[in-house]
Structure 1
Amino acid sequence: MEIGIIVWCLILCAFFSGMEIAFVSSNKIYLEIEKKQDNFISKILSKLTENPSKFIAAMLIGKNIALVIYGFLMGDLVMIWIENIGFHFSDFWNVLLQTIISAILILATAEFLSKVFFQIYANILIKVFALPAYGFYLFFYYLSSSIIWISDVILIKFFKTKGDQVSLYFSKAELGNYITEQMSTVEKNDEMDSEIQIFQNALDFSGVKARDIMTPRTEIVAMDLFDSVTDLKDLFIETGYSKIVIFSNSIDDIVGYVHSFDLFKKPKNINSILIPVEFVPETIFIKDAMNLLTKKRKSVAVILDEYGGTSGIITIEDIVEELFGEIEDEHDSDEELTEEEVEDGIYLFSTRLDVEYLNQTYKLDIPESDSYGTLGGFIVDSTKEIPQKGDIITIGNYHFIIEEATNKKIELVKMTIKE
Structure 2
Amino acid sequence: MTFAPPALSALVAIVVAIIALMVSAFVSGSETAYFSLSSADMERIEPNRRARVKSLLEKPERLLATISITNILMNVAVVLLSSYALSQIFVFESVAISFVFQAVVIVFFILLFGELLPKLYAESNKARCASMTVGGLSVLSRCLAPLSGIVAKSTYFVNKVVPKKTDDLSLDDLSHALEMTNVAEEKDKSMLEEILKFGGKTVADIMTSRVDMTCVDWNSPFSELVETVKESGYSRLPVYVDNQDNIKGIIYAKDLLPYVGRMDDTFEWQTLLRAPFFVPETRMIDDILEDFQKKKMHMAIVVDEYGGTEGLVTLEDVLEEIVGEISDEYDEDEKLYTRLANDTYVFEGKTLLNDFYRITGLEEQEFGEMNEDAETLAGLLLNIKQDFPKEKEVIEYGRCRFLVMSIDKHRIEKVKVRILADAKIEDKD
Q: Distance in 2 between matches of 1:129 and 1:300?
A: 58
Deviation at 1:308?
Answer: 1.3
SS at match of 2:157: coil
Corresponding residue of 1:252: 245
Instruction: Tell me the percent identity.
Output: 22
Corresponding residue of 2:218: 225
Equivalent runs, 1:13-412 vs 2, <5 Å: 13=24, 16-17=27-28, 19-20=30-31, 43-44=51-52, 46-68=54-76, 71=79, 92-108=96-112, 111=115, 126-142=126-142, 144-151=144-151, 162-163=157-158, 181=177, 184-186=180-182, 190-193=185-188, 197=191, 209-264=202-257, 265-266=259-260, 268=265, 271-322=270-321, 325-333=324-332, 335=335, 352-354=352-354, 385=386, 388=389, 390-393=394-397, 399=398, 401-404=400-403, 412=417
Given that 2:207 and 2:312 are in contact with CA atoms closer than 8 Å, whether structure 1 keeps it comes out as: yes
Deviation at 1:118?
Answer: 6.6
Q: Distance in 2 between matches of 1:192 and 1:42?
A: 35
Given that 1:355 and 1:374 are in contact with CA atoms closer than 8 Å, whether structure 2 keeps it comes out as: no
Gap change, CA 1:240 and 1:378, over 3 Å in 2:
closer
Deviation at 1:178?
Answer: 8.2
The TM-score with structure 1 as length reference comes to 0.64
The TM-score with structure 2 as length reference comes to 0.63
SS at match of 2:307: coil
Amino acid at match of 1:107: L
Gap change, CA 1:311 and 1:39, over 3 Å in 2:
farther
SS at match of 1:318: helix
Given that 1:51 and 1:166 are in contact with CA atoms closer than 8 Å, whether structure 2 keeps it comes out as: no
CA RMSD in angstroms comes to 5.7
Q: How many residues align?
A: 388
Deviations 1:146-176 (A, max 9, x none): 3344447878xxxxx9356699x9x795899
Gap change, CA 1:172 and 1:219, over 3 Å in 2:
farther
Amino acid at match of 1:244: L
Corresponding residue of 1:158: none
Gap change, CA 1:326 and 1:58, over 3 Å in 2:
farther
Given that 1:279 and 1:301 are in contact with CA atoms closer than 8 Å, whether structure 2 keeps it comes out as: yes
Higher CA-based Rg = 2
Amino acid at match of 1:211: A
SS at match of 1:227: coil
Q: Distance in 1 between matches of 2:340 and 2:128?
A: 42
Given that 1:210 and 1:282 are in contact with CA atoms closer than 8 Å, whether structure 2 keeps it comes out as: yes
Deviations 1:34-93 (A, max 9, x none): 79x99667644532332221121222234335545655677699899x98xxx9885643
Deviation at 1:212?
Answer: 3.9
Q: Distance in 1 between matches of 2:146 and 2:386?
A: 72
Q: Distance in 2 between matches of 1:48 and 1:362?
A: 50
Given that 1:211 and 1:283 are in contact with CA atoms closer than 8 Å, whether structure 2 keeps it comes out as: yes
Given that 1:243 and 1:260 are in contact with CA atoms closer than 8 Å, whether structure 2 keeps it comes out as: yes
Given that 2:122 and 2:129 are in contact with CA atoms closer than 8 Å, whether structure 1 keeps it comes out as: no
Amino acid at match of 1:60: S
Gap change, CA 1:382 and 1:110, over 3 Å in 2:
farther
SS at match of 2:72: helix
Deviations 1:10-54 (A, max 9, x none): 77655644554566667xxx669979x996676445323322211
Corresponding residue of 2:5: none
